Amino acid sequence: MDSAPTAGQAYQATAFTNDYEFSKGGYELPTYPFVAPPELGSKIAMRHPIVIVGAGITGLTMACALARHGVAAVVLDEDNSVGVKGASSRGICYTQKSLEIFQRLGIYDRIAAKGIQWSVGRTFAGNDEVYSFDLRQQSSFQLSAQPPFINIQQFYIEGFLVQRIQELGHVHLRWGSRVTGFTQHDGFATLTVDTPQGSYQIEAEHVVDASGSHTPFHRWCSASMQSRRGDDRWCIADVRFKNLPPTERHTWIEAPFNDNRAVWQHLMADDVWRIDYQMEPDADPALVSSEAEVHKRLRRQFGADVACEIVWVGPYAYRSQCLDALHIGNVFFMGDTAKIVSPFGARGGNTGVADADNLAWKLAAVLRGLAPAALLESYNQERLEAAQQNVQVTNRTARFLRPADGMERVFRTAVISLARQHPFARQFVNTGRMAVANPYSQSANCEGSGGLSVQNVFFRWEDGSPGCVNDLVLWADGRLLLLVFGDQSAQARQRLAELTRHAPVRCVQVLGTDTRRQSLETVRDPQGHLQGACHVFGHAWALVRPDAYLAATGEAVDSALVRAVEHALALA
Ligand SMILES: Cc1cc2nc3c(=O)[nH]c(=O)nc-3n(C[C@H](O)[C@H](O)[C@H](O)COP(=O)(O)OP(=O)(O)OC[C@H]3O[C@@H](n4cnc5c(N)ncnc54)[C@H](O)[C@@H]3O)c2cc1C
């Protein structure tokens, strides 16, 4: 067995090359140089429309989405690399909605080439399997151009986002730039930035706080929040085996080889396995992450002759937290500054990506003059609802995994014992409800069946070649996408032409294979997948936003459609 590096450290033995290859000994993350900005040495603070604080997965997704809309922004990060110092990769598991977003941003192919696809999860109590799923068998996951999940180290995604931002232009990435001061004014904010070459001030009309769980903006903005810290302790061992276990997510609620505490087992890129062990509540982080202890745990799980190399060890605890408002003055909170969830269900980074996708098109629409500033309020409504749902769902999992004495423990014991024999009880086994595209049921900008995510399903262009929803969203170029299903009367076609002339909407007619094309842009939906993804039937319309969420659906092309467009863009 190879010897392990010091516990709790990111292992940096070999170069993390531009090809992002892992080689023996661990990762060395890329470094980006500090480049002196024009403000340094100047007495006048320059004003920018958007300043993003934090180049983690959330801030970089935001920056990349803005760049794709052609909108300028400045990103400030105190570090000079991707990933979080000393933490190797925190996130590993990325959901279909995030992968669909990454496809729109132009980095999905890089993620798919590097990451590991999986769909099967199995949960064990002792030696018994008490729950399993194969997401590919679930119709809701089957039809997208992206798989249910890809496992990949978080820093790879961040690195791909940096590359893509550099390709797209518009965004100024400033490394080695720590925000140390903030003042809110009427219509803009001033930030103080410390750099290796001194401090400067920068002004921003909109500030996006994506600076993670230790953000200073909560204090600066007097943000109120609901917060809870538990006593659950875990210790990650990222490991490379000589003989690979199956590419499935295995979780144990009660693992005999971990003193009947929980264990997680997942494969990531570079044949690195994440084995995550639940510890005693009062466990000493230094002790449980010592080299000897980690090897002992691995031998208990995989046998005395296990041949493996430890890539990284990270002990951690977690808290749950949710702000009461995600928009205060000029500041938008997103990612871990908006909410913090336990890692069960992969809802942290994935929902940061969704936060960014939600706000980016709205800021772009406002700055491009397609919508009024009032549209930005819907960010708070929609993503706060999502944050609260995610906190609630992950708290339930945390309580299942570390139940309080009394009723919670009795419930868990009963569920595990029933699930061994009775299928009905398996739905209560909760080792993480995997992240989903949260619905926006409270949004004033979505109507009727609006507020649901539209899966990135396939259709056919007129020449018979395949296209997917993201192609249409990109074609709409930051405007609303109106899909009208079925042939339309001459009067309806005239109304549609009128609507697209006066509002930021692009319209496509969706027909079966046998219907003749009318005087509208047309695509074919022979199997009805596009219609299903939009949750409509027969003659209908669906108004799709640039974040591939439904703003509204309806039947007749009439005043209700015009109202839906106005509401979606906060025009009325
Ligand atoms: C063990 C574990 C496993 C996880 N697994 C998953 C998973 O499988 N899937 C998933 O989706 N999520 C997962 N998560 C959660 C996920 O890692 C986080 O939710 C995610 O990193 C949050 O990203 P962020 O960009 O919001 O913040 P961060 O990643 O914390 O990035 C913040 C950035 O801001 C910068 N910064 C901070 N302060 C300043 C300042 N003052 N000035 C300038 N820059 C600053 C930092 O340098 C950093 O680059 C996991 C978390 C843990 C702990």
- Is the pLDDT at 3 greater than 50? The verdict is no
Residue 5 near residue 11, CB atoms below 8 Å: yes
- Cα–ligand 1 centroid distance for 237 (angstroms): 19
DSSP string of 393-428? HHHHHHHHHSPPTTHHHHHHHHHHHHHTT-GGGGGG
Q: What is the C-alpha to C-alpha distance for residues 421 and 423, in angstroms, rounded to an integer? A: 7
Residue 541 near residue 496, CB atoms below 8 Å: no
Going by their DSSP bridges, the two strands 116-118 and 331-333 should be labelled as unpaired
Token output for 535: 């949750």
- Is the pLDDT at 136 greater than 90? The verdict is no
364 CB contacts (<8 Å, ≥6 apart)? 65, 66, 69, 70, 71, 478, 546
DSSP 136: G
Helix (H, G, I), strand (E, B) or coil at 207: strand
Q: How far is CA 361 from CA 70, 154, 366, in A?
A: 11, 24, 9
Looking at per-residue pLDDT, the higher value among 329 and 246 belongs to: 329
Task: Give percent of the chain above pLDDT 70.
Answer: 94
Token output for 289: 């992450």
Residue 77 CB–ligand 1 contact under 6 Å: yes
Q: What is the C-alpha to C-alpha distance for residues 165 and 71, in angstroms, rounded to an integer? A: 12
What atom in ligand 1 is closest to the CA of residue 334?
Answer: 26
Token output for 177: 């730039």
Helix (H) or strand (E) holding 277: strand 272-279
pLDDT in tens, 111-135: 999 999 988 889 999 888 998 888 7
pLDDT category, 18, cuts 50, 70, 90? very low
Residue 352 CB–ligand 1 contact under 6 Å: yes
Most trustworthy range by pLDDT among 28-42, 211-225, 448-462: 211-225
Q: What pLDDT, on a 0 to 100 scale, did the predictor assign at position 222?
A: 97
Residue minimizing CA distance to atom 38 of ligand 1: 211
- Cα–ligand 1 centroid distance for 57 (angstroms): 7
pLDDT category, 88, cuts 50, 70, 90? low
Residue 59 CB–ligand 1 contact under 6 Å: yes
- Is the pLDDT at 390 greater than 50? The verdict is yes
The full set of domains in the chain, from first to last, is: 21-33+44-116+147-225+320-399 (3.50.50.60), 458-568 (3.40.30.10)
Specify the amino acid at residue 129.
E
Test site for ligand 1: of 61, 154, 156, most ligand atoms within 8 A of the Cβ = 154
Residue 187 near residue 204, CB atoms below 8 Å: no
pLDDT category, 493, cuts 50, 70, 90? very high
- Cα–ligand 1 centroid distance for 351 (angstroms): 11
Q: What is the C-alpha to C-alpha distance for residues 488 and 486, in angstroms, rounded to an integer? A: 6
* φ, ψ of residue 119 in degrees (nearest 5): -145, -10
* CA contacts within 13 A on the Cβ side of 104: 34
Q: What is the C-alpha to C-alpha distance for residues 390 and 412, in angstroms, rounded to an integer? A: 21
Span 74-101, mean pLDDT? 88
Determine the length of the chain.
Answer: 572
Helix (H, G, I), strand (E, B) or coil at 108: helix
Beta bridge partners of 276: 236, 264
Task: Give percent of the chain above pLDDT 90.
Answer: 72
Q: What pLDDT, on a 0 to 100 scale, did the predictor assign at position 86?
A: 59
Handedness of CA 487, 491, 497, 503 (dihedral sign): negative
Residue 293 CB–ligand 1 contact under 6 Å: no
Q: What is the C-alpha to C-alpha distance for residues 309 and 50, in angstroms, rounded to an integer? A: 44
Q: What is the C-alpha to C-alpha distance for residues 450 and 455, in angstroms, rounded to an integer? A: 14
- Is the pLDDT at 21 greater than 70? The verdict is no
- Is the pLDDT at 381 greater than 60? The verdict is yes
Residue minimizing CA distance to atom 30 of ligand 1: 212
Span 448-468, mean pLDDT? 93
pTM of the model: 0.93
What atom in ligand 1 is closest to the CA of residue 178?
Answer: 42
- Is the pLDDT at 79 greater than 80? The verdict is yes
- Is the pLDDT at 303 greater than 70? The verdict is yes
Residue 482 CB–ligand 1 contact under 6 Å: no
- Is the pLDDT at 538 greater than 80? The verdict is yes
DSSP string of 444-509? TT--TT-SPBPP-BEEEETTS-EEEHHHHHHHHTTSEEEEEES---HHHHHHHHHHHHHSSEEEEE
Q: What is the C-alpha to C-alpha distance for residues 25 and 32, in angstroms, rounded to an integer? A: 22
Q: What is the C-alpha to C-alpha distance for residues 547 and 522, in angstroms, rounded to an integer? A: 22
Residue ranges in 315-347 assigned as alpha helix (H):
none
What atom in ligand 1 is closest to the CA of residue 154?
Answer: 17
Residue with tokens 């992206």: 146
Q: What pLDDT, on a 0 to 100 scale, did the predictor assign at position 474?
A: 98
Environment class of 430 (CB within 10 Å of its CB; exposed 0-12, middle 13-18, buried 19+): buried
Span 188-217, mean pLDDT? 97
* φ, ψ of residue 298 in degrees (nearest 5): -65, -40
Residue 115 CB–ligand 1 contact under 6 Å: no
Residue 379 near residue 362, CB atoms below 8 Å: yes
Q: What is the C-alpha to C-alpha distance for residues 543 and 503, in angstroms, rounded to an integer? A: 13
Task: State the average pLDDT for the chain.
Answer: 90
Q: What pLDDT, on a 0 to 100 scale, did the predictor assign at position 87?
A: 62
403 CB contacts (<8 Å, ≥6 apart)? 409, 411, 412
pLDDT in tens, 250-291: 999 999 999 999 999 999 998 899 999 999 988 898 899 898
Q: What pLDDT, on a 0 to 100 scale, did the predictor assign at position 276?
A: 94
